[in-house]
Amino acid sequence: MTDHHVDPDKETFRAFREMDREGPLHMLNLVRLRESAEYEDGREVSGAEAYAAYGRESGPVFRRLGGKIVWRGRFEFMLIGPSEEQWDHCFIAEYPSLSAFVDMIRDPVYRKAVKHRQAAVLTSRLIRTEPQKAGEVFG
């Protein structure tokens, strides 16, 4: 995997914020970790350890703002898609609103914790979705 998608650029984040609507949003997270985290201070821990630190430190902010994990799965095999894409974490986080997500990103505790995510993640996908009622068939 040669792409490194860790943080959105300012223009993309602005477009994301402009898509305000009532109700919750689901964020599909696909995360590939570095074998060794890359901290600016040079500390040596694994990507998994750094990502776990991100979860521990950002979790209280996420929960305080009404966030919850609504689905989590373990990646097994890419049936359709680039075979080199493999993911260490696959989950859907629910936020009660766009403003709750933005408030999390701006929170000082979260901003301090995000350094662990940036050190840990090799590449990721963060896909915003609107929750829909589940059915019994495709489409």
pLDDT tens, position by position, 32-91: 999 999 999 999 999 999 999 999 999 999 999 999 999 999 999 999 999 999 999 999
C-alpha 121/C-alpha 43 separation (Å) is 15
**pLDDT score of 1:** 47
Side chain identity, residue 125: R
Helix or strand run (H / E) with residue 117: helix 108-120
Tokens matching residue 78: 């890419």
**pLDDT score of 39:** 97
Tell me the per-residue pLDDT of 124-133, one tens digit each, with 9 for 90 and over. 999 999 999 9
* 12 SS3 class: helix
Domains plus CATH for the chain?
Answer: 26-129 (3.30.70.100)
**Residue 104, pLDDT above cutoff 70:** yes
C-alpha 99/C-alpha 107 separation (Å) is 12
| Cα torsion angle, 6, 111, 19, 130, sign | positive
The pair phi, psi for residue 67, each rounded to 5°, is -75, 150
* 136 SS3 class: coil
